[in-house]
Structure 1
Amino acid sequence: MEDEIKRQESFKWDRDGAFSTYTQILGYFLAESVLENARKSKLLDLACGDGLLTTKFQDFFDRIVGVDASKYHIKKARERCPNIEFHVSLLENFETYEKFNTITMIDIIEHVVDPIEALKAASSHLAIDGILLVFAPNALGVNRRIAKIMGTLIDEYELSPFDINVAGHRRSYDRHLLIKEVESAGLKVINSGGVFYKMLSTPQIDFLLRKGLWEGGGHGWGRVGMEKSKDWCFEFCRACYIYGKEHPDETNNIYVCCTK
């Protein structure tokens, strides 16, 4: 496991880095999805990363504990959330006698050595009425389907150099594969869904959100005559989130809610 800790330490990606406009927007809606499915009052956030999403949970839960294998990310998390308890540990190695009503695994299952072991380890910390929320990037997101047709991906499940070398992904999931993984760990699936209908690549949508004619652009950017009445960039993102709920197999991220 020491080698795995070193490997995780080598990946410095966070939502403040590359393409941060989009990754922070996506993070906002991932947090929304968590809160729509969560159970009060204690949260265990595995792996919490730099704490950006953890901060969005503070008003909902009475107690939050964050765990991440990266000292670099935990340092940032502690600076961002000084009132939250954080631990440096692989989620598979984390030990506590405490039980939690909600446990999140947001975009971590695609990183771990053994997904089944990780799911079993995470679920061992559930309270009797607890729920485990497992999120992963969606291999069959519409942007990846388009990329395959374009020729920038050979296959929707292909890992890009960014996925492997920057993000540290080991595998890809679609919603049905994620459900199968969860069930293979002996867990009961309550529901599943998708987060954010993303039709462009990450660099493309980040550019659109930053450079689009959202203020005063008129037709095609907002409603003519109501240019200043709303934040049309956010309304676009909110619409992508809502539409994605109706088309979960085409979204940027997928999730499964499960219990023991």
Structure 2
Amino acid sequence: MPTFTAPDGTRLAAHLSWDGDADGDGEPVVCLPGGPADSAYLGDLGGLAAHRALLRLDLRGTGASALPEDPASYRCDRLVDDVEALRTHLGLSGIDLLAHSGGANLAVQYAARYPERVRRLALIGPGTRAAGVEVTGEARRAVALSRAHEPWFPEAFAAFEAVAAGTGGDWEAVAPFFWGRWDETARKLHAESRPRNQEAVRGYGSDGAFDPDATRAALASLTAPVLLLTGEYDLNSPPASTAGLAALFPDATLVVQPGAGHYPWHDDADRFVAATAAFLAARPG
């Protein structure tokens, strides 16, 4: 398990997943989890490690990374320094960067600040706050209604409507909407993917974390190719909002994975790996 030191002295950890027969150029893909969550839930991303070495970063205060002395350093824009410290530690002039969910907000801010350091950028079920792309209630509701045939739908939809209306609602009851298959494996993975450090959760998107206008302006000149892959059923990152994010990049490929939710490598690993591995294997430029 590689460890390294952030600029403020916080000790950070990353985890290597790699099939020894993996092809590719031998350099790892740096993988960012969905905001301040332990990166363990990413696993080998459905077998992507058979094609490229994956280096999963535990953000500060999560997983095997240390708690910072300054809780304000949990803020998303400040975590850009941690990603850059990892690149420096690896001795790479540029990195392939993959991010899931809320981690996409960190990845795009890194790309905005260090565009010359990004070779390829893969955003999976991406969060869009950093770029100021709105996810409308109507878009989420349309995705939710597309699951009306599921046996769990009535209870989950009632909870979704209550949450959307601000009248309460049980977020745990909404959980099936985030998975293409709500089975025992999904239930287990859902429990494992929940953030444990609530202070980090609060700090991640706190005041000042995002400057959408500046980020959008910087992304407009990003030369690196970008993959945006989301699930057909992704309630967090509906295809419409992911398409809006894709429109901000000069060289973007949008993939909507059929039958998938917010964790597409779980719902159809073969389809996810085929699309993502092909993108990561392509030569930039």
Smaller-chain TM-score bracket: 0.3 to 0.5
Q: Which has the higher helix share?
A: 2
TM-score, L = length of structure 1? 0.38
